Each structure stands twice: as C-alpha cells, then as structure tokens.
C-alpha cells in the first residue's frame, strides 16, 4: 500500500511533465500559478533587498566622491561619442537624400528594469527582473544589457519576468 502511495504521484508527475512538454496545454495554468506566487517571491526576497539597501546607504563620502568623478569622466567620453554619432547620422541623412533611399528604422521603446535575482545552473541560466506584464513586457522580447543582448523573456507575470540567457 505504501508503494502505491509513492508510485501514483510519481506516475502522475511524469505524465504531466510529458503532457506539458508535448502539447503545452498547461501554459495558462503555469502563468496563473506564477502570478499568484509573485507576491510570495517579493516577500521572500525582501531581506536580500533590505541588506542591499543598507549596504548602499553605508558607503563612505570618499567612495561616493570617487564614483562621482568616475561617472563625470565617463559622461564626458559618452558626450564626445554622441557628437560623433550625431555627425554620422547627419552624414547618413545626406547620403540617403543623395541616393533617394526610403529605408528607415522604427524608434525602439525601452523599459529599464532592475535585476532581482540571477539563477545559474548547468541546465538553465535565468535572470529575474522587477518589471512584468503591467509594464507591457511580453514573452519573446529581447533583454539588453550595457554590453549588448543578455537574453530573451521566457515567462511574464504581473510583477516580475524571467529571462533565460545563454550569455551569462
């Protein structure tokens, strides 16, 4: 009898895994459960956020001044790059006018998010961010970092998103 109590849930679990893998009928259920669990995730991650906030509040004045100086020098470099980019854009516009080209790119809209958690294992690498479907994010969208593409959104909830990435 104990064998059946253990064996039946295992068979049901394997059947659900295969059924979901093959037919994807449980996506809506998974989405609903993830949305329902999102507040619990936020409460559980609160101590880590609190520790990070306290650590950020404890930085010394010298460290802040050093960071400010580094950021100001980086800002000057980026402003110089922006001037070069503006010159190239103007040159491209002139060339397009000469060639009578109609090819244009649409304006992209970006949503800035904060990384809440990074999960690395042999089988998957995931990033959880603090934006979700309330911020008009959708499954399949690309996630960009400071140095380029970091992954693609694979799961969306109201509060947070999961990004799977091969680039970590």
In this prediction, residue 168 has a pLDDT band, given cuts at 50, 70 and 90, of very low
pLDDT tens sequence across 90-119: 998 888 777 775 445 456 677 888 888 888
Average pLDDT over residues 155-164: 74
142-145 and 148-156 beta bridge pairing = antiparallel
**Are the beta carbons of 121 and 145 closer than 8 angstroms?**
no
In this prediction, residue 69 has a pLDDT band, given cuts at 50, 70 and 90, of very high
Strand order, beta sheet including 125-129: 115-120, 125-129, 161-164, 148-156, 142-145
How many beta carbons lie within 10 A of that of residue 133, not counting itself? 16
Give the span between the Cα atoms of 73 and 79, in whole angstroms.
10
Q: What percent of the chain has pLDDT over 70?
A: 89
Residue 110: φ, ψ to 5°: -110, 145
Tell me which H or E stretch contains 82. helix 61-99
């Amino acid at each position: 009898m104990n064998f059946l109590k253990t064996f039946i849930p295992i068979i049901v679990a394997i059947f659900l895994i295969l059924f979901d893998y093959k037919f994807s009928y449980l996506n809506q259920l998974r989405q609903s459960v993830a949305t329902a669990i999102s507040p619990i995730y936020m409460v559980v991650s609160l101590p880590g956020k609190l520790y990070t906030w306290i650590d950020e509040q404890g930085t010394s004045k010298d460290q802040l001044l050093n960071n400010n100086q580094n950021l100001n020098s980086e800002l000057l470099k980026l402003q110089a790059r922006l001037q070069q980019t503006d010159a190239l854009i103007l040159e491209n516009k002139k060339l397009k006018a000469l060639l009578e080209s109609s090819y244009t790119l649409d304006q992209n809209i970006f949503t800035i998010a904060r990384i809440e958690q990074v999960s690395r294992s042999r089988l998957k690498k995931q990033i959880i961010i603090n934006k979700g479907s309330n911020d008009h994010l959708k499954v399949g969208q690309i996630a960009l970092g400071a140095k380029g593409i970091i992954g693609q959104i694979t799961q969306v909830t109201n509060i947070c998103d999961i990004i799977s990435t091969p680039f970590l």
